[in-house]
């Protein structure tokens, strides 16, 4: 089930993001820098943009920000123990549906390089790069999903 995040689980969800990022084998210096920027705050809850995939506890989260015709998948993290079980796909599908319902025609994603193949399976393509918030000199792939060209439930069959 995908539900709104709750204030009482901010620390647990922040920890989930850290475990998810560490899954890719980054060294401790990288993780220290990443942990400094991967922090959820009460504002994330108040904005009503943060959602949790919950199956007997949080297994993943995403933050979707929609402004006019563009959506940003600002966060997508899956607990390493739940990877490969459809959690990420469910969250991206939910984000696509919500973005389209709010009038967005495109969704952008600043992706971890290791997540590019996953996002490509979800219909995204690399359109450029953006500087990392955490690591000076690191560039992250900027990806985009054309929402206007997707059939309803396009990710459901992936």
Task: Dump pLDDT digits (tens) for 97-150.
Answer: 999 999 999 999 999 999 999 999 999 999 999 998 888 888 999 999 999 866
CA distance 158 to 96: 14
CA distance 99 to 89: 15
- Pure H helices in the chain: 10-22, 28-37, 42-46, 87-101, 116-121
Maximum distance among all Cα pairs of the chain, rounded to whole angstroms: 42
Residue 19: pLDDT over 50: yes
Give the mean pLDDT of 24-42: 92
């Amino acid at each position: 089930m995908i539900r709104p995040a709750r204030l009482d689980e901010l620390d647990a969800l922040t920890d989930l993001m850290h475990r998810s990022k560490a899954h890719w084998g980054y060294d401790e210096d990288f993780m220290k820098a990443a942990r400094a920027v991967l922090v959820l705050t009460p504002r994330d809850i108040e904005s009503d943009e943060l959602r949790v995939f919950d199956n007997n506890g949080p297994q993943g989260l995403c933050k979707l920000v929609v402004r006019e015709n563009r959506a940003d998948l600002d966060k997508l993290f899956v607990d390493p123990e739940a990877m490969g079980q459809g959690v990420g796909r469910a969250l991206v599908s939910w984000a696509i549906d919500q973005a389209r319902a709010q009038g967005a025609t495109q969704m952008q994603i600043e992706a971890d390089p290791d997540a590019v193949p996953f996002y490509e399976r979800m219909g995204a393509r690399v359109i450029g790069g953006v500087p990392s918030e955490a690591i000076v000199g690191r560039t992250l792939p900027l990806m985009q999903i054309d929402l206007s060209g997707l059939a309803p439930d396009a990710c459901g069959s992936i």
